[in-house]
């Protein structure tokens, strides 16, 4: 592990879109401000919500709690991808890290995330996302399906390892990745309450395909805790999110034109889910745990809905467009006299 004094500079980006997460947003900001390895910059991007942006600015002026925070409005298309691209454009750090507006980072989050970049072949590093259930984990919700609520699911590596892609709530990229391949694809990703995703998957694949021999790393020691409201533990939400995941994966396949990119999903379906179904059934038959039977049934239902969403979207005639050149693609990196960086 390198000396922290030699670590690259880091800009942290938090994107937000609703006043309903105000308290969670403030907690997330405070968790970044309390890092043992302090970032060079903390950028909060408000996604087309003027009231929220004004409230954030006023709160900072009145309380002083947001000193050093760069608050800005999304200058791109509405949605999480556009907001993230706006944050990337404003970032000055060598590394750009992302935290969700309903997540809190552990104090050593960046200190665990950044050392992997000592390897010049590492393009991106992501960490573990632990769910914090508002009303406790529902009995029917297995850990193998925690990806539904944006968290690390059971079956992922327990130690640092190379992976295909990072998870949006806890991820980071070298800034030159965005200079080389552009930003997040605005045709992908969550838009308000629409639970679409996979924009980080597509970006990781695009970056890796364009630079053979490079790596994306998962570092489970870099932890953030993700708030999960009770409404996201319902079967209705689980199936809606599963459908959207299938649609999103189909979009990525069509954009990049390579079905083989879904290798991790195939291994997950072949190895992780069958064990989870059997474990649920054993829990029911040997211990009378009705939750075990429910978990087994939910896994089968989620798999079926995800597959159906994927196939239906894959057969649609008009594929989504690849990202157009925009602010994130067009800026130049200029080293200034103080050794920092600015972009125009």
In the chain (344 residues long), the average pLDDT of successive 10-residue segments reads: 75 95 95 96 94 89 83 91 94 97 97 96 97 96 96 94 93 94 79 68 88 93 97 95 90 77 89 95 90 96 94 69 40 34 34
User: 219: domain CATH number?
Assistant: 3.90.550.10
Phi, psi (degrees; rounded to nearest 5) at 96: -115, 115
Q: Is residue 18 part of a domain?
A: yes
Domain count, the chain: 1
296, part of any domain: no
Full domain range(s) for residue 111: 10-233
Predicted pLDDT of residue 329: 42
Residue with tokens 């009145």: 62
Query: How confident is the model at residue 186, as a pLDDT?
Result: 79
Alpha helices in the chain (DSSP H): 22-33, 50-63, 80-90, 109-113, 175-181, 199-209, 235-256, 263-267, 273-287, 290-314, 327-330
**What's the pTM?**
0.87
Instruction: Note the helical H segments in 210-272.
Output: 235-256, 263-267
**pLDDT score, position 51:** 92
pLDDT of residue 339: 36
pLDDT at 258: 67
Has residue 46 been placed in a domain? yes
Query: Is position 259 within any domain?
Result: no
Task: Show the tokens assigned to 44.
Answer: 């909060």
Measured CA distances, 49 to 15, 73, 196 (Å) = 11, 8, 20
Q: Is residue 271 in a domain?
A: no
CA distance 283 to 163: 31
Give the pLDDT score at 66: 87
What pLDDT does 259 receive?
65
Q: What is the pLDDT of residue 194?
A: 60
pLDDT at 64: 80
55: tokens are 């409230």
Domain-embedded: residue 104: yes
Distance CA 174, CA 193 (A): 29
262 vs 260: CA distance, rounded Å: 5
d(CA 270, CA 202): 23
In a domain, 82, yes or no: yes
Residue 324 counted as domain residue: no
What 3-state DSSP class applies to 226?
Answer: strand
DSSP state of 156: B
């Amino acid at each position: 592990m390198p000396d922290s004094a030699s670590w690259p500079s880091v800009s942290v980006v938090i994107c937000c879109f609703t006043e309903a997460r105000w308290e969670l947003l403030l907690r997330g900001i405070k968790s970044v401000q309390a890092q043992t390895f302090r970032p060079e910059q903390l950028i909060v991007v408000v996604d087309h919500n003027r009231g929220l942006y004004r409230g954030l600015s006023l709160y900072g002026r009145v309380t002083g709690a947001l000193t050093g925070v760069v608050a800005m409005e999304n200058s791109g298309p509405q949605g999480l991808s556009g907001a993230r691209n706006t944050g990337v454009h404003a970032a000055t750090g060598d590394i750009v890290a992302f935290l969700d507006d309903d997540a809190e980072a552990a104090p050593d989050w960046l200190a665990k995330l950044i050392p992997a970049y000592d390897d010049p072949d590492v393009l991106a590093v992501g960490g573990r996302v632990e769910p914090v259930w508002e009303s406790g984990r529902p009995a029917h919700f297995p850990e193998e399906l925690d990806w539904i609520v944006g968290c690390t699911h059971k079956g992922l590596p327990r130690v640092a390892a190379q992976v295909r892609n990072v998870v949006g709530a806890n991820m980071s990229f070298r800034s030159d990745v965005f200079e080389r391949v552009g930003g997040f694809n605005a045709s992908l990703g969550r838009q308000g309450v629409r639970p679409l995703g996979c924009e980080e998957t597509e970006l990781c694949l695009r970056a890796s395909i364009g630079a053979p021999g490079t790596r994306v790393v998962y570092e489970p020691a870099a932890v953030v805790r993700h708030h999960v409201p009770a409404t996201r533990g319902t079967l209705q939400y689980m199936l809606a999110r599963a459908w959207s995941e299938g649609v999103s994966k189909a979009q990525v396949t069509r954009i990049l034109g390579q079905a083989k990119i879904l290798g991790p999903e195939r291994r997950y379906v072949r190895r992780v889910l069958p064990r989870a179904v059997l474990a649920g059934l054993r829990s029911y038959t040997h211990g009378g745990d009705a939750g075990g039977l429910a978990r087994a049934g939910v896994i089968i239902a989620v798999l079926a809905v995800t597959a159906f969403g994927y196939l239906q979207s894959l057969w649609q005639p008009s594929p989504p467009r690849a990202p157009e050149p925009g602010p994130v693609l067009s800026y130049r990196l200029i080293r200034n006299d103080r050794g920092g960086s600015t972009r125009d």
